[in-house]
Amino acid sequence: MTRVSQHFPTDTAGLPESHPPEVLEPGDGGQIELRIAPVAKPISGATVRMLAYNGSIPGPTLRVRQGSRLAVNLINEGDLETTVHWHGLRVENRYDGTPETQRPVAVGESLTSHLQFPDPGIYWYHPHIREDYTQEMGLYGAIVVVPGETDYWPPVNRELVLILDDFLLEDGKAAPFSRTVTTYTAMGRYGNVFLVNGEPCPTLDVKLGEVVRFYLVNTANTRVFHVALHGARLKRVGGDSGRYEREELIDSLLISPSERIVVDARFENPGPVTLVHRTPRQAYLLAVIMVGEEPANPSLAGPFEQLRTNADLAAERDRLGPYLAAEPDRTLALVAEMNLEEPELPSDRLVYTCPMHPAVSRDQPGRCPECGMKLMAAAAATEYVCPMHPEIRSSQADRCSLCGMKLLPARLVEGATGESHHHHPTEHHGPSAAPASPDATGFPGGIEWEDDMVEVNRGTTPANMRWKLIDRATGAEGAAIDWRFRVGDRVKIRLVNEMDSDHPMQHPFHIHGAGRFLILSRDGAVEPNLVWKDTVLIPTGQTVDILLEVSNPGRWMAHCHIAEHHESGMM
């Protein structure tokens, strides 16, 4: 009898090597095929077994026109049953790609979805069964919906899709995935290699003075990207589902898992330009753009300087007054419940510490004063060690004599395996970002930029770490929440990322194709620039009011788009 491994396969023997994604332009009424199958992909000196649509990571970019229709035949030759969710598209409910509304496609089977594209902009597709595994393994691709209006977007010389991702590489393979349970459910799976269109630090070529439209998509399981383009100018023109109310010049942009942002970039000087991810600690190189000497033709310098106000979103703002003043129709709380087992020791031999801030130590249960996280019980430390220089030890929480780092309890340091996520194999280029001031949550901007509790996070599963969505009016949780609306309703929903939670953390909250929404306010401050959304990032401790425009009948899902949070109940 063949023994089935408890982990998904990692062997690359005999697999075809992945290739760059193609652009498919099927036309109205066309049909395409998406085939899921394993591939061998080179990443940072290793060859990794991954999953691909049509042999490429990312999958093919679909380029379709607004108002068109398309049939997509999915063939599953992967590792487990699957679906395809058409993220952000207002499709018919039966093609939404969740097991609630669609039969999963078993290995060896196929299924055809019929799609329509009512809204211009940038969208994407991915599985919705064991999303933590399949999405990390490469099953994602972009959809560009070309507007029906010829002047919907400002003029550009060309357009490029940039899909941002990270990947957790350990010992030349993907960090293990269990077949039966999702891990890393506390914080999600942060990668240690950054990918742009499936490649670590690709190089792109542009012409001098060229204006390029970048469609940015964040497909990472967990990571929020803070993106800047050193050496070029950026103009933000669009978001999840179409254009912004006002175009504006920006220095950087924040994009959480599943969000999309549309920016135009003008390259005014020859030489290298760097695309970077900036955190409060440092900056990471994502890609290099080489600007040549040959000038772009035509020159679009004049149109690039124009910052347009779009009448359709300006009209929406005029309609928002009554909703801003009204109480919410629904209130949804985002909460964590962590139940890690305590060691079987007398209470006088226990110490309670914060996995995020190990210097916080108490002799009684409680919450961390830095971040609000529930303190974890462990055997009291008798020795402290430097994470950077393990030979430096002390009976006190002193500082390392070699590097000055604060010594940590030996159990935290010696229990760790693999590299900390602060030591990415990705080379650190460019100036470090200036340290940001922590807010009341203990994290700059209410966002956790890295995995600061690697071993604790690795060992969390839905059995000991539950993420919850709670209807504050009824107390119902998750799938038991029964909200009923009618097509044409406009519903004000208040989303509260509660600090009274065992692990406060940011959440990218996504609503499937029931409709689209506008952000009304954040902590009572009116949103200054409107754009139609399907995902909103809610930092730790923040309250966000949204206005959902209900346009599609059926049963729809809403969830956190950190894949491990979704898999552990946050839907």
pLDDT of residue 426: 37
Express as a percent the part of the chain with pLDDT over 70.
85
pLDDT score of 281 more than 70: yes
pLDDT band at 454 (very low <50, low <70, confident <90, very high): confident
For 369-393, what is the mean pLDDT? Answer: 67
**Is the predicted pLDDT of residue 429 greater than 50, yes or no?**
no
Please write the tens of the pLDDT for every residue from 222-260: 999 999 999 999 999 999 999 999 999 999 999 999 999
- Other beta carbons within 10 angstroms of residue 432's beta carbon come to 12
Q: Using omega within 30 degrees of 0 as the cis cutoff, is the peptide bond preceding 202 cis?
A: no
Helices (H), 396-451: 410-414
CA-wise closest residue to 560 among 329, 260, 257 = 257
Q: Mean of the pLDDT values across residues 422-450?
A: 49
Asked which of 211-220, 263-272, 355-364, 410-419 is least confident by mean pLDDT, the reply is 410-419
**Which pLDDT band holds residue 439 (cuts at 50, 70, 90)?**
very low
State how far the Cα of 187 lies from the Cα of 459, in Å rounded to an integer.
11
CB 518 within 8 A of CB 547: yes
Q: How confident is the model at residue 2 (pLDDT cuts 50, 70, 90)?
A: very low
- pLDDT band of residue 386 (cuts 50, 70, 90) is low
The residue to which tokens 């060896």 are assigned: 108
- Pinpoint the alpha helices (H) of 206-320: 301-305, 311-318
Torsion over CA of 205, 168, 180 and 454, rounded to 10 degrees?
A: -140
Report the pLDDT value the prediction gives residue 407, as an integer from 0 to 100: 61
Predicted pLDDT at 339? 77
Burial tier of 104 (Cβ tally within 10 Å: 0-12, 13-18, 19+): middle
Q: Is the pLDDT of residue 336 over 70?
A: yes
User: Could you tell me the strand order of the sheet in which 535-538 lies?
Assistant: 535-538, 507-511, 558-560
Residue 562 burial by Cβ neighbours in a 10 Å radius (0-12, 13-18, 19+): buried
The model carries a pTM of 0.85
Considering only CA atoms, which of 169, 227, 226, 221 is closest in space to residue 190? 221
Q: Residue 323: CB partners within 8 Å, gap ≥ 6?
A: 490, 492, 520, 547
CB distance 275 to 254 below 8 Å: no
* Structure tokens that stand for 120 in this block: 């211009």
Q: Across the beta sheet with 525-526, what order do the strands follow?
A: 465-471, 330-338, 490-497, 543-550, 515-522, 525-526
User: Which of 357-364's residues contact partners 24+ apart within 8 Å by CB, and which partners?
Assistant: 357/442, 358/408, 358/409, 358/412, 359/397, 359/406, 359/408
For residues 279 and 232, is the Cβ–Cβ distance under 8 A? Answer: no
Given a cut of 90, is residue 50 above it in pLDDT? yes
Residue 499: is its pLDDT beyond 90? no
Which position has the higher pLDDT, 388 or 169? 169
Extract the tokens encoding 352.
């309670």
Contact criterion met (CB below 8 Å) for 80 and 129: yes
Q: 562 falls in which pLDDT band (50, 70, 90)?
A: very high
- Which has the minimum average pLDDT: 240-244, 348-352, 432-436? 432-436
Compute the mean pLDDT over every residue in the chain, rounded to the nearest whole number.
Answer: 88
pLDDT tens, position by position, 316-326 = 999 999 999 99
CA dist 456 and 422 (Å) reads 16
Name the CA dihedral angle for 90, 94, 95, 101, rounded to a multiple of 10 degrees: 110
Q: In this structure, what DSSP letter does residue 147 have? A: -
Phi, psi of 544 (to 5 degrees): -125, 130
Q: How far apart are the C-alpha atoms of 436 and 270, rounded to whole Å?
A: 32
For the cut 80, the answer to whether the pLDDT of residue 212 exceeds it is yes
Q: Identity (one letter) of the amino acid at 67?
A: G
Of 328-337, 414-423, 531-540, the poorest mean pLDDT is in: 414-423
Confidence at 345, pLDDT banded by 50, 70, 90: very low
Q: Specify which residues 531 forms β-bridges with.
A: none
